Structure 1
Amino acid sequence: MEATTLRLRTLTAGDTVAIVSPASWPEGSVPTWIARQVEAWGLRAVIAPHALDHRGYLAGSDVDRAADLNDAIRDPTVRAVIASTGGCGSFRIVPDVDVRALRADPKMLVGYSDVTALHQVWNAAGVPSLHGAIAGTHGDHVRRLLMEDADTVVDADAAALSAELTTTGRVEGPLSGGNLEMLARSVGVVDFDLAGAVLLLEINRAAGLGMVDRALTQLRYSGALDGVVGVALGSIDQFAGYQDRGWTVVDTLRDHFDALGVPVLGGLPLGHVEDLVTVPLGTRAVLDVDRGRLTVESPSGV
């Protein structure tokens, strides 16, 4: 996998950011809160028409959610797109994304968790995206990524549960990945190439260890992980204290990581953690396991 060839221009004051709900519906105040944060940066925020629709656990119908996303992609005044929340449903609209329009007028997507399905579409299109959110103490870093051509430096927390899986070594390659389950589900649906990439993994406890094992097995046996040069492992703290017949999530992950035989850096504040750090996907990264640091190049600058 090569780093994305498309570099996005930095946003300037007055540029428009669209807030969409491609998956589940957010709490009613969330889109407005995101809009206020974005406007405090000097940008203009537009909340998509169906951002607060309810259809079961989805933010409205597949047609309406896809329309909101595509309208943002096709609108030349919109320079970035922020997902209001994750949950479930992004995968259902993957085939409907207007990839041609995205390539013609590339713009950043911000989100994580279920939005991983859409990150794979952006990745396949050669467009960088941002894995994370504007909430938390690192929220201002998203502003810097969008508006200041900033690189990202993430230091590992040796006390975090995933730090137990840290090995040794130093590797370079484009950062790609996201939520483990969504990556596994994408096999055979989205054409993504991880050869030469640093694999970002974040895992939430949606089910037991069997789900983690099945997802990693699918990714390995399908060949999706062939050529991965390293693993940047985010939070697995939701599994703290959980065991299944004597095994913990650390045991399950170590079994698969040992089979990959690549450097692993755990303890990174990425994914389902309160103060998550937002990182670019698709740009060049350095995984320095010996220093406990992940450095990712800016996705913008033109």
Structure 2
Amino acid sequence: MILPPALKPGDKIGFFSPSAPATVFAPKRFERAKHFLESKGFQLVAGSLTGCADHYRSGSIQARAAELNALIRDPEVRCVISTIGGNNSNALLPYLDFDALKRDPKIIIGYSDVTALLMGIYAQTGLITFYGPALVASFGELPPLVEQTYDSFFDLLCCPGTSSYQYQMPPAWTDEMIDWETQSEVKRLSQNNWQFLGDGVIKGRVIGGTLNTMAGIWGSPYMPAIQPGDILLIEDCMLGIETIERSLTHLKLCGVFETVSAVVLGKHELFNDRGTGRTPLDVLLEVLNGQPLPILAGFDSCHTHPMLVTPLGATAEIDFDRESIRLTDPWLAK
């Protein structure tokens, strides 16, 4: 396992667009996000496809891989963050310079479709990657939500050598959809609630990300093998209940739920229950069909705001009796 160095004030953060061209379709939110991180003392380094679009994507497969490789190979860039997700990040995996990351480990962070890259990098290098905010999607949000997301970013990525971290449930959350280019007000908030379904203490390696994206790397060398005792993080966005049932059933058919020790189920942004009144948790419980598997449901490392950073490949401990979740081993180098 490789631990990346922590971020320091003044460090350079490179951003890239591995799939959707957010710097083109959301220029105001993009500028707001850049200004926000710069106000925190970081220097932003633009990827080569900034301001570029090829219809549904930022550029060709080869161009997108080259953009990410350039940031990976730049010794001054200490963190590489995606601008947003999309649908096609998995196409970059055969062309990435994994050896460069082994020689010069750095923080790689993003979520959604970037799950493919986070999992692929971890599988190929052993480098801890981070399921967390994307530049435009997350840091372009308005206060106070953007500040709450940044607090988690700072706590998890800017404190070197920390060996323990207790997650705190945000008091409120939102998945309200407001046009990014016209948004001028804070989104409506809902009271938060994490559900701890289980008993005792579960400790294991955290693996996972966006469920729909993992299907695009499943069975490949870029999907880490699920090991006995792992804690599986899964979440998704803007899908219908029928798709979630299919995806969760896929995991059951692959024996995943018989292998992992617990599931962390993130909030589902704008879930379409097709009039059933059922939730993703309800679907998971139906798929499990009585199989005992501890579940932490409603965790905020997902497409909703605010977003908590989760190190993939790190060790977490869930205490179902005390209703708490924490990291127990270092995820950053000293």
Give the shorter-chain TM-score range: 0.7 to 0.9
**CA offset at residue 226 of structure 1?**
4.9
Deviation per residue, 1:116-135 (Å, 9 max, x gap): 11111122121111211153
SS of residue in 2 equivalent to 1:91: helix
Which one-letter code corresponds to 2:149 in the other structure?
Answer: H
| CA-CA distance at 1:143 after TM superposition | 2.4
Corresponding residue for residue 132 of structure 1: 132
Measure, in 2, the Cα distance between the counterparts of 1:300 and 1:222: 32
- Taking structure 2 as the reference length, the TM-score comes to 0.79
Paired with 2:151 and 2:87, the residues of 1 have a C-alpha distance of 26
The answer (yes or no) to whether the contact 1:175–1:283 under 8 Å persists in 2 is: yes
- Kindly provide the CA deviation profile for residues 180-202 of structure 1, in whole angstroms up to 9, marking residues without a partner as x: 11122321222312212111111
State the TM-score, normalized to the length of structure 1: 0.87
Residue 67 of structure 1: how far off its partner (Å): 0.7
> What is the 5 A alignment of 1:1-302?
5-26=1-22, 27-124=26-123, 125-133=125-133, 135=139, 136=146, 137-149=148-160, 151-155=164-168, 163=195, 166-189=197-220, 190-195=222-227, 196-206=229-239, 208-236=240-268, 238-239=270-271, 242-243=273-274, 248-258=279-289, 261-296=292-327, 297-302=329-334
Question: d(CA) in 1 for partners of 2:277 and 2:300?
Answer: 27
Cα distance, 1:113 vs structure 2: 0.9
Contact conserved, 1:17 with 1:81, CA < 8 A, in 2? Answer: yes
Distance in 2 (CA, whole Å) between partners of 1:10 and 1:121 is 21
Deviations 1:127-181 (A, max 9, x none): 1112111532221321232221355433458965873x73333201121111111
Q: 2:152–2:307: 8 Å Cα contact kept in structure 1?
A: no
Identify if the C-alpha distance between structure 1 residues 13 and 251 changes in structure 2 by more than 3 Å, giving closer, same or farther: closer
Report the counterpart of residue 174 of structure 2 in structure 1.
none
Q: Secondary structure at the match of 2:78?
A: strand
Q: Distance in 2 between matches of 1:259 and 1:18?
A: 46
Give the secondary-structure state (helix, strand or coil) at the position aligned to 1:290.
Answer: coil
Please give the secondary structure, in 2, of the residue aligned with 1:144: helix
Give the match's secondary structure for 2:299: coil
SS at match of 1:186: coil
Structure 1 residue ranges without an equivalent (≥5): none
Secondary structure of residue in 2 paired with 1:274: coil
Gaps of 5+ in 2: 140-145, 172-190
Compute the displacement of 1:42 (Å).
Answer: 2.6
How many angstroms does 1:106 deviate by?
Answer: 1.6
Q: Is the 8 A contact 1:157 1:268 kept in 2?
A: no
Which deviates further from its counterpart, 254-263 or 99-108?
A: 254-263
SS in 1 for 2:166: strand
1:235, CA displacement in angstroms? Answer: 0.4
Cα distance in 2 for partners of 1:146, 1:12 equals: 9
1:65 maps to a residue whose letter is R
C-alpha separation in 1, matches of 2:6 and 2:193 = 36
What percent of counterpart residues are identical?
A: 29
In the TM superposition, residue 46 of structure 1 has moved relative to its aligned partner by 0.3
| Cα RMSD (Å) | 2.5
- Indicate the SS of the match to 2:281: helix
Aligned-partner Cα distance in 2 for 1:181–1:232: 15
Number of residue-to-residue matches in the alignment: 295
- Residue 94 and residue 224 in structure 1: after superposition, are their counterparts in 2 closer, same or farther (change >3 A)? farther
In 1: Cα distance, 2:120 partner to 2:97 partner: 10
CA contact (8 A) 1:199 1:232 kept: yes
Distance in 1 of aligned mates of 2:39 and 2:259: 42
Residues in 1 aligned to 2:259 and 2:119: alpha-carbon distance in whole angstroms = 17
Cα deviation for residue 231 of structure 1 reads: 0.9
Distance 1:260 1:90, change over 3 A: farther
1:271 Cα offset (Å) = 0.4
